[in-house]
Structure 1
Amino acid sequence: MVCTTTLGGTAANVVVANVVHGLMRMTWVPTPVSDEQAFEAIRSGVDALPAGVKMILNSAQFYGMGWSTANLELLSRFYEKYPDYADRTFLMVKGAYNPEKSRVDNAPENIRRSVESCLAALRGTKTIDLFQPARIEKSVPIEETMKALVELKNEGKFNHIGLSECAAATLRRAHAVHPIAIVEIEVSVTSFEEEARKVLATAAQLDVAVAAYSPLCHGLLSGTVTKREDLDPHDMRMHLSRFREGNFQSNLAIAGAIKSIAAKRGCTPAQLCIAWVVSLGNKVLPLPGSTRRERTLENLAAGDISLADEEKSEIAYAMKAYPVKGGRYFDDAEADAILWG
């Protein structure tokens, strides 16, 4: 059985699987996967769903080496080959990246330029169901950003509005301008900061869905990366604070604790982590990545796992006993604070 839920805001009537399929690592890696493998990974999840239930696919303007539109171009080829899947999937796209400035730029003119770039990459094969700025730029008032997004939505460029990496207060201000359908933040047993908890609480109050990305801490918690040598030297994770020498070896402790709890439950460590995120709320949707059919189905099945109170307590104990070393991206919590716009 596949567990389902609905989204928020203007997408409150959209029924989706309660696990999102992240597509980033299909293209934003030194050696992208083949179209055949990527298409099989996408189709397997969609085909496992009951009629009327959509699979959320998470993509971005910049999910390609060199911050390219490679991920959206891959999707355009997928939908061109399998047009029936356009109506069976809900496509959320992060954007507002400005190639000239090499950063997110939420100025209205750049948001428009970003949306047009995403639409061009999709070549008319699929509607953008939800568009979201990838980060909140603090120099641009959120009300101004929302005004630009509403204008583009009303023009039919996309159907719903989302936010990414926003603080709870920002979510509330944005939602007052126009209903937010999904807010995307990082949530895992290694990323459960106070602000993340505030966003979860605010989203629940406003009936906004939360797409919880990196529930497996970029593979650390799933056991797929057990030493730094497992990673390609050009893999972006080599630059993440939690994967750096010293921090990585220390962080294997919580990965080991999760593996032990999962073994007692009879599921994979990845499934345990995904199920834990699901347990945080009805509209909290874990967003793991997958490039292979078997992993897509494993992730989807995790959404149906209901954790016992004792298991939740064991996970909570592990989180306290083995605190993660390193920030979500950078070296310390102060540096990471810039993420919460």
Structure 2
Amino acid sequence: MDPPEANLDLVRRFLDAHPEYTDRMFVSVKSRSSASEPALRQSVATIRQHLGGKKLDLFECARVDRNVPIEQAMEVMERLRGEGLFEHIGISECRAETLRRACKVAPVAVVEIEVSPFAYEEETKAVIAAAAELNVAVAAYSPLGMGFLTGTIRSRADLQGDIRSHMDKLSEKNFENNLKLAGALQGIATARGITPAQLCIAWVSSLGPHVIPIPGSSHESRTLENLNAANIVLSKEDLAAVEQAMKDNPVEGYRYQQGHPVWG
């Protein structure tokens, strides 16, 4: 998004026009990648400036800065929170062990990780389990597998000019194999009378009451479709079918490009 703060400006403009939503809206914003105190302070200041009068409910470290120990980053976050600059602390893309270390320093409200049938690694499961134990919510981003599991992407040609075409899972080498999982999930969704997107969101929700899917969309119809997934409860048979589809159609490739850091 250009400029990077454009989304914050949109929130501010909306709330300026509809102030009755100010207290009903929960705003979560991530920092940039550096977890040094000057960088975090600057991030918070920039966010607050663009939000205007809306308070920052949750401030989140974007990924884990490998140059700053998580304990040190958490000390800074807790200090900023204590100054009243935001209400809650979040971290993202961290290992279960890192989450445990962070929680020993200060309360973590949310951990944000990628969760979908397309991204369900052993570390994903470990973070979800640790979060439940530590009373931390999981913000599950990309529950639709970066849109790949919606049934709308059927060939590499559909990704022409799309940044997702550079992802290893959607590379020429892995695309056709991974399309099998998307097709299997679409079959389950059709039999259930729901869309593939709704199936994926409901499946992510089934992983625990602390797991919150956060799908993204720029279309009103798809946003409403995604919201309606909150009313869908998958049966044991539905869940078993999804698990079997994942087992029969294992995903190949890295989540991003090979060598791109994911778990901090």
User: What TM-score, normalized to structure 2?
Assistant: 0.95
C-alpha deviations, 1:109-161, integer Å up to 9, x for none? 11111111112222x14211000011101221111101111111111111100
The RMSD of aligned alpha carbons is 1.4
Bigger RCO of structures 1 and 2 (CA < 8 A, at least 6 apart): 1
C-alpha deviations, 1:285-316, integer Å up to 9, x for none? 11110222222221111122111111111111
Q: Provide the secondary structure at the position in 1 that maps to 2:148.
A: coil
- In the TM superposition, residue 232 of structure 1 has moved relative to its aligned partner by 5.0
Structure 2 counterpart of 1:146, one-letter code: M
Does the CA contact (< 8 Å) of 1:79 and 1:125 recur in 2?
no
- In the TM superposition, residue 230 of structure 1 has moved relative to its aligned partner by 2.4
Structure 2 counterpart of 1:244, one-letter code: S
Residue 79 (str. 1) matches residue 15 (str. 2): yes
Q: Provide the secondary structure at the position in 2 that maps to 1:199.
A: helix
Does the CA contact (< 8 Å) of 1:108 and 1:144 recur in 2?
no
Structure 2 counterpart of 1:75, one-letter code: V
Structure 2 residue aligned with 1:214: 142
Structure 1 residue aligned with 2:119: 191
Q: Point out where structure 2 has 5 or more consecutive residues left out of the alignment.
A: none
Equivalent-residue separation in structure 2 for 1:239 and 1:71 (angstroms): 24
Q: Point out where structure 1 has 5 or more consecutive residues left out of the alignment.
A: 1-63, 98-103
Does the CA contact (< 8 Å) of 1:83 and 1:125 recur in 2?
no
Equivalent-residue separation in structure 1 for 2:188 and 2:136 (angstroms): 31
Structure 2 counterpart of 1:290, one-letter code: S
- In the TM superposition, residue 224 of structure 1 has moved relative to its aligned partner by 2.2
Structure 2 counterpart of 1:84, one-letter code: E
Does the CA contact (< 8 Å) of 1:80 and 1:125 recur in 2?
no
Q: Which among 75, 100, 108 is matched to residue 180 of structure 1?
A: 108
Structure 2 residue aligned with 1:228: 156
Structure 1 residue aligned with 2:89: 161
Equivalent-residue separation in structure 2 for 1:108 and 1:339 (angstroms): 22
Structure 2 residue aligned with 1:149: 77
Residue 255 (str. 1) matches residue 145 (str. 2): no
Equivalent-residue separation in structure 2 for 1:65 and 1:228 (angstroms): 26
Q: Provide the secondary structure at the position in 1 that maps to 2:150.
A: coil
Residue 116 (str. 1) matches residue 116 (str. 2): no
Q: If each structure's helix is expressed as a fraction of its own residues, which one has the higher value?
A: 2
User: What TM-score, normalized to structure 1?
Assistant: 0.74
Q: Provide the secondary structure at the position in 2 that maps to 1:138.
A: coil
Equivalent-residue separation in structure 2 for 1:128 and 1:188 (angstroms): 28
Percent identity, please: 50
Does the CA contact (< 8 Å) of 1:222 and 1:269 recur in 2?
yes
C-alpha deviations, 1:202-254, integer Å up to 9, x for none? 10001111011111111110112222322351x32122112222322221110
Residue 277 (str. 1) matches residue 182 (str. 2): no
Structure 2 residue aligned with 1:101: none
Does the CA contact (< 8 Å) of 1:184 and 1:213 recur in 2?
yes
Alignment of 1:1-341 (within 5 A): 64-65=1-2, 68-95=4-31, 97=32, 104-122=33-51, 124-233=52-161, 235-331=162-258, 335=259, 338-341=261-264
Equivalent-residue separation in structure 1 for 2:225 and 2:179 (angstroms): 22
Structure 2 residue aligned with 1:36: none
Distance change (3 Å), C-alpha of 1:293 and 1:313: same
- In the TM superposition, residue 268 of structure 1 has moved relative to its aligned partner by 0.3
Distance change (3 Å), C-alpha of 1:125 and 1:290: farther
Structure 1 counterpart of 2:263, one-letter code: W
- In the TM superposition, residue 321 of structure 1 has moved relative to its aligned partner by 1.2
Structure 1 counterpart of 2:10, one-letter code: L
